[in-house]
Structure formats: C-alpha cells, structure tokens
Chains A and B, each alone.
Chain A
Amino acid sequence: MAKVKGDIVVDIERCKGCEVCIDTCPTQTIAMVDAVNGKGYHYMQNVNDACTGCTNCAIVCPDGVITVYRVKV
C-alpha cells in the first residue's frame, strides 16, 4: 500500500489559537504551543512528523492559516 507523508506550514501570525483544528487531526500531529504570536494568541503547530497531508486542519481553519503539502512515499 502506498504510504503518504504530509507536512503543513502555519502562518503563525494569523493563527488566533481557536483550537478548532486540533481534534480534526487523525494523527495527533498538531497541538497548541505555549508561545504566543504578535497578537498574543497561542498558535497551533505540527509537533511530530506523523502528518499525512489529509488537509482536515486547513479545511476547518476559519482563518485559512494552514498550507498543506503531501507526497507519496
């Protein structure tokens, strides 16, 4: 079975830390970080390399801060 590997790029400064994306990740790749951005929001980030590039987080993000990449490996 072809495996896919994904990665995301987060526009940290636009993230408002709503956390709506967190539970949509099937591989628990994303989490809120303790740091805050320029607006004072905690932001989300990928915390391991389990991402499959499923785009769930990006699709549900109200602020459109997530860009998703995916390759077959």
Chain B
Amino acid sequence: MTETTIKSDIIKPENLVYKKTDLMTDKVLSYCPGCGHGTTHRIVMEVIEEMGLMEDTIGIAPVGCSVLAYEFMNVDMQQAAHGRAPALATAVKRLMPHKTVFTYQGDGDLAAIGTAETIHAANRGENITIIFINNGIYGMTGGQMAPTTLPGMKSSTSPYGRDLDMMGHPLKITELVAQLPGTHFVTRQAVHTPANVRKTKKAIRKAFELQQQKVGMTFIEVVSNCNSGWKMTPVQANQWMVENMFPFYPLGDIKVDGEILKNN
C-alpha cells in the first residue's frame, strides 16, 4: 500500500521528466520491434519541437521502411519517389529559403537509386538536412543486399554473403558526401544506447541550427539495426551492429564547420 502511495505521488504532471513529443502522432509505428527508425523519428521531432520549428518545417519521406514516416511525424510532409527526396527538398528550400527542410532516407534510397540526387544536392550546397539511416540492408522489401551491406554479410540476395568480386564493395557515401564543398556538417551516429541517442539528437539540433545559417548541407548518418533483415533478436542485432557495422562505419563527426576532420 505504501508503495502505491509513493508511486501515485510521483506520477503527477509537475514531476514529468520525459514524454513522447506531440510531434510524433499517436499512430503505432509500423517498424519492427527494436528498430532504430522509431528512435530517430522521435528525436528529429523532439528537436523540431524544442526549437519551435513546427510551423516552418517540411519533411520529406523516402521509399523504404520509412516510406510511412509521414504517418508518424506530425509536421507537414511530402512523400518522395524512391531516391528523389533531395530533389524535392532542393526545390522546397530554394522556393522558401526561410523554412526548415529535411529528408529522411534509408541506405537503399539514398546510396543506391538516389545517389545522383544525394551527391548533386550536396555539391550544390543545398541548405537542407539529410537524415540517413544506414542498416546495411533493404528492410522493407525483405532483406535484400544494399549498397551498404558489409563484405561477407548475408542478405536475401547475397545468401552466401556479399562476395566483393561478384557484387562489388559497400559504399561509404557519408565519407564521399563529406568530400564535397557543398556540405558543412557531416557526422555518423547511432541510437542503440541512451548516450548515443543523446549524441545523435545533439547532432540533429546542430544541423537544424546550421541550416538556419545557410552554410550548406548538413548530413547525419545514423547507423542502425535491422533485426528482421539480419534475422536476430533486437538486442542481438544491436550487439552485432556494434561488433560489425561500427568498425566499417565508425561513429563520430566526419566534417565540422566545412572542414574534414583529420582522422577521416
């Protein structure tokens, strides 16, 4: 009885310290259990809420698992054709330079079919923010090999592991984008632990702040998991990500204030 009293004493509006932002809709996320998309969606929306940008933000959803991002992100959204989100964002930002414009794209969308749009929007220095989720696989279509699939990694179209001679190399598009003069802030983060979530959120906030200064493209890769595609439990998938994805896609800032950091 005492415990219950204590609990109800704590659960009061004035004691609230964390609650899902209202800029996430109440719709149940379509993502698999443990998927980093949900976390990333939420922190993008938290930043928009905290910066008071709701009235001036336009988000662009991709094709892939996050095709329905507009169902969950409670801001004005456009749904782009596969890979074309940076082209949409370019036009939105050029036509309304005072708006905050972001794309939210997966690795198949951004680094395969949309490579041209990604590279050229970056190279033109479009003042947009790209949130890039890299889980090394095509999740929505059932776990096929992606441009980011690791060497030897199994997928439904590389069932014996990615054979580099036959299938080519994984593409580190974030490092590539960082080389372009049009990008100002390029970073690679993750959302599997509270500390990483906090860091990623900080990076997103920085990107949106820089966008208002019109200094060029800001680009945030989030290395994420795909437990369904990788055929693991969510906790195992996060562990596998730490052991296998992070060595190939190391976390941290790649380009800050328009300068590529030395270790990159």
Which residues of chain B (11-28) have a CB below 8 Å from chain A?
Answer: 11-12, 15-20, 24, 28
Number of interface residues of B (CB under 8 A): 36
Q: Complex Cα distance A29/B18, Å?
A: 17
B33-71: contact bitstring with A at CB < 8 Å (1 yes, 0 no)? 111111100100000000000000000000000000000
The reply to whether the CB of B112 lies closer than 8 angstroms to some CB of chain A is no
In the assembled complex, which residues on chain A have CB atoms less than 8 Å from the CB atom of B38? 61-64
In the assembled complex, which residues on chain A have CB atoms less than 8 Å from the CB atom of B198? 59
Given A18-B34, A19-B34, A62 and B17 contact (CB-CB distance below 8 Å): no
> Which one of A6, A19, A67, A68 lies within 8 Å of B234 (CB-CB)?
A19
> Which one of B18, B28, B35, B234 lies within 8 Å of A14 (CB-CB)?
B28
Closest-by-CB residue of B relative to A56 is B194
A62 near B193 with CB under 8 A, answer no
B11 near A20 with CB under 8 A, answer no
The reply to whether the CB of B165 lies closer than 8 angstroms to some CB of chain A is no
Number of interface residues of A (CB under 8 A): 32
B10 near A7 with CB under 8 A, answer yes
The reply to whether the CB of B238 lies closer than 8 angstroms to some CB of chain A is yes
Given A62-B39, A63-B38, A68-B17, A20 and B192 contact (CB-CB distance below 8 Å): yes
State how many angstroms separate the Cβ of B50 from the closest Cβ of chain A.
Answer: 14
Given A20-B192, A69-B16, A60 and B39 contact (CB-CB distance below 8 Å): yes
B65-105: contact bitstring with A at CB < 8 Å (1 yes, 0 no)? 00000000000000000000000000000000000000000
In the assembled complex, which residues on chain B have CB atoms less than 8 Å from the CB atom of A19? 34, 233-235
- Scoring A14, A62, A70 by chain B CB atoms within 10 A of each residue's CB, the highest score goes to A62
In the assembled complex, which residues on chain A have CB atoms less than 8 Å from the CB atom of B9? 71
B238 near A62 with CB under 8 A, answer no
> Which one of A7, A62, A69 lies within 8 Å of B34 (CB-CB)?
A62
Given A18-B234, A70-B17, A49 and B28 contact (CB-CB distance below 8 Å): no
A53 near B17 with CB under 8 A, answer yes
B15 near A59 with CB under 8 A, answer no
In the assembled complex, which residues on chain B have CB atoms less than 8 Å from the CB atom of A24? 193-194
The reply to whether the CB of B116 lies closer than 8 angstroms to some CB of chain A is no
Which residues of chain A (1-47) have a CB below 8 Å from chain B?
Answer: 5-7, 9, 14, 16-20, 22-24, 41
State how many angstroms separate the Cβ of A16 from the closest Cβ of chain B.
Answer: 4
In the assembled complex, which residues on chain B have CB atoms less than 8 Å from the CB atom of A5? 6, 10
Q: Complex Cα distance A32/B192, Å?
A: 18
18 contacts across the A-B interface (CB closer than 8 A): A5-B10, A6-B17, A19-B34, A19-B233, A24-B193, A24-B194, A41-B33, A55-B194, A58-B18, A59-B197, A60-B193, A60-B197, A62-B42, A63-B31, A63-B38, A67-B18, A67-B20, A70-B10
Extra A-B contacts (4), CB below 8 Å, given A6-B10, A18-B34: A5-B10, A59-B197, A60-B192, A70-B10
